[in-house]
A and B are shown apart, each in its own frame.
Chain A
Amino acid sequence: GENVEQHPSTLSVQEGDSAVIKCTYSDSASNYFPWYKQELGKRPQLIIDIRSNVGEKKDQRIAVTLNKTAKHFSLHITETQPEDSAVYFCAASSTSGGGADGLTFGKGTHLIIQP
């Protein structure tokens, strides 16, 4: 089955700086890679996703890049703001089948924005 590794487990950056969170996956059949953000005490929410037919996707201050050859994908947040503080989860999925949409989550990265 799929194995998703996520690094770092904790990331502290100064407000205004950029943050990068990296994930690797093991199943070359995976073709869907979402990122979920979970603020303290709240439910996880999808913030961006990418499919394997593209290498990069942007949405305002966040972007995701995908390297299928190396089987890794990254979340980039620019001009970080206090409201970016949260736990971020990456996930990988093979839409070719498997339970629960074949979605396997990483263990999460606690992003701390220092004022």
Chain B
Amino acid sequence: GAGVSQSPSNKVTEKGKDVELRCDPISGHTALYWYRQSLGQGLEFLIYFQGNSAPDKSGLPSDRFSAERTGGSVSTLTIQRTQQEDSAVYLCASSLMGQGVGEKLFFGSGTQLSVL
């Protein structure tokens, strides 16, 4: 595609429910990142995929958060048993090569998650 695509753009859920957020990176980009942006906060790193390597999960805030990337392309971020503090914009980004290169990140438009 022309850019990084995320869906849904908005998600409203009830506390305790599970949610899945999807990211479709730019074709050919080997690196994929998930960030969380809370109101008035910066971009908080969550997880990073690079090719077929094991993902860097060091930013996941709790074991309720998980992500996978199938076939080196589409990624899904899953939040189980959502809490109100999970409300934020979840941004996905991709880059051509990834780690160790200092590359430009291409961001998606994000998913605005609201937990009631």
Contacts and interface: CB of A to CB of B under 8 A. Distances in A.
Interface of B is mostly: loop
Interface residues of A, number: 30
B35 to A, nearest CB: 8
A102 B100 CA distance: 8
Interface of A is mostly: mixed
A45 interface: yes
Interface stretch (A14-22, A61-69, A74-82, A89-97): A89-97
Nearest to A96: B100
B107 A97 contact: no
Interface in A49-78: 49, 51
B33 interface: yes
B28 interface: no
Interface of B: 4, 31, 33, 35, 40-45, 48, 56, 58-59, 91, 95, 98-105, 107-110
